[in-house]
Amino acid sequence: MNRRNIPNSSRLSPLFVLCLLLFTTLLSSTYTIATDRVALVIGNSIYPDQSLFGKIPMAERDADLMATTLRDLDFDVIIVKNASKSMMYSKLLDFETKITEGCTALIYFAGHGIEFEKKNYLIGSNALFKDRDILGEEAIEADVIVKKLTRKAPRTSIIFLDCCREAPPQSWLTSHKKTRNASTLGLAEMKTGPGLVIGFAASAGNLANDTLGEENGPYALALTKFMKSGEEFNRVLKLAGREVNARSITMKSANSNELGIVIQEPRMYGQLYHDFFFTSKKNETSQSTGMADLRAQLAEEQSKREKAEKQAAEAISLTRISAEIPADILFNQGDFTRAANGYQIYIRENQTEPNIERKWFYLGLCYENVGQLNDAATTFEHIVNFFKTGECVANSAYRAGLIAIGKREYTRARDNLKIAHRECSTAQLKTEVARQLAIANTGAE
């Protein structure tokens, strides 16, 4: 036998070990890169027919848009749509296993969310929302997500809650809040920890628009747009918030008779103490031309947006310096559409002024006079829930009760008229409230 054809294992061993070490190092490096950025994306559009929650068609589309954007930015993404509470929690546990110390962990939720006793809940697609005692079976408490992120200690933790919506009008939650004179709008402000930022589609206690005419929601569109801009994280949120707010103002102004459009102001809670960029170094180097083009596009869009805002402002108000005077004049002249615009501006710029509830009341009357009864009822009930007591609250509750009777929402009418009866100080109004309350008491929904 020719011994030269027999491999010398002792001579090959060092080479084999070196190759093995190199291969192991490569695998380890690849794994680190793949899990350096992880994301969980949830989009709940569809709820049972018996549910008190309505469908949100764009939530799924927003989830798809966010997942695609994050994958392009080197995130390892778990996405789930129309998930029950148990499915959401299962995916949250899967996501938790991917989080390593020092990584970036991001969660995006689009769907229905509520605030109950100063805690926020993300609603699963199985929710009927008819029984307070099973809320834990229908929703995940947002603080649970915060605790899991805090425990795993990623370097950067980001939560986007695209769910600042109103509680269902006929639900146990709305009844619960009315007995406590609490607002039914939006989410509650959340506490965060080091390296954790929570972004709301709208500031605490306020509503977000489902759409401003596009296939996707305004918050998801703005976030994904500026994530790809190459800007630092805090700048991304500032630009996204500014765009959402400007778009909502422009759309509200241009569509003053359109139901449901609100002035939307995204809000960030918490702070990162280090710089973070959504664009990876690979993207910044290999796509520098693309980034330059995008920056130019953003600058052009900013210029167009500023021009549109200026045109809208000129079209809807006599002046932004003193909107109160023209609003009152326009109201007395019966020009309720332009008066409503004036009151909106005045309220936004003078929120802490004494007797500001009177401006809210006249805004509600403007909506009522142009037939925007949903907006009128929402405005009157905001006065009742926020200001709690006084003659203006009595009148607002009375107007909200009348609107509810007209829509045959007798439970809602009774709730408002009882408050009106309690707060009103004039015998004439008290008599009229009692008469309407008797009508509501005989009504059947």
Q: Assess whether 103 and 235 both reside in one domain.
A: yes
Could you tell me the residue range of the domain that residue 244 belongs to?
34-304
Q: Residue 317: inside a domain, yes or no?
A: no
Query: Which pTM value belongs to this model?
Result: 0.58
Structural domain total, the chain: 2
First to last CA, the chain: 100
Domain closes at, from 251, 281, 304 = 304
Joined together, the tokens standing for residue 283 give 């993207």
| Residues of the chain by 3-state class (helix, strand, coil), percent to 5 | 55, 10, 30
3-state secondary structure 367-393: HHHCCCHHHHHHHHHHHHHHHCCCHHH
CA atoms within 13 A on the CB side of 166: 16
Residue 155's CATH number? 3.40.50.1460
Q: Is 274 helix (H, G, I), strand (E, B) or coil?
A: coil
Q: Residue 3: inside a domain, yes or no?
A: no
Domain closes at, from 304, 320, 346 = 304
Q: Which pLDDT value is given to residue 280?
A: 67
Residue 383's CATH number? 1.25.40.10
Q: Write out the chain's pLDDT in tens, 445 residues.
A: 444 444 444 444 555 544 555 445 444 443 334 468 999 999 999 988 888 888 888 999 999 999 999 999 999 999 999 999 999 999 999 999 999 988 999 999 999 988 887 889 999 999 888 888 878 899 999 999 999 998 888 999 999 999 876 666 666 676 665 554 445 566 888 888 778 999 999 877 677 776 666 788 899 999 999 999 999 999 999 999 998 888 888 777 666 555 567 778 899 998 888 899 998 654 444 444 455 556 666 666 666 666 666 655 554 444 343 444 578 888 888 888 888 888 888 888 777 777 888 889 999 999 888 888 888 888 998 888 888 888 899 999 999 999 988 888 888 989 999 999 999 888 888 888 888 888 888 875 5
Q: Residue 70: inside a domain, yes or no?
A: yes
- Let me know: does 157 contact 198? Beta carbons within 8 Å: no
Distance from C-alpha of 267 to C-alpha of 401, rounded to nearest angstrom: 33
Q: Residue 27: inside a domain, yes or no?
A: no
Joined together, the tokens standing for residue 207 give 């509503």
Q: Is 11 helix (H, G, I), strand (E, B) or coil?
A: helix
Q: Which pLDDT value is given to residue 365?
A: 92
Q: Assess whether 105 and 233 both reside in one domain.
A: yes
Q: Which pLDDT value is given to residue 27?
A: 43
- Let me know: does 36 contact 15? Beta carbons within 8 Å: no
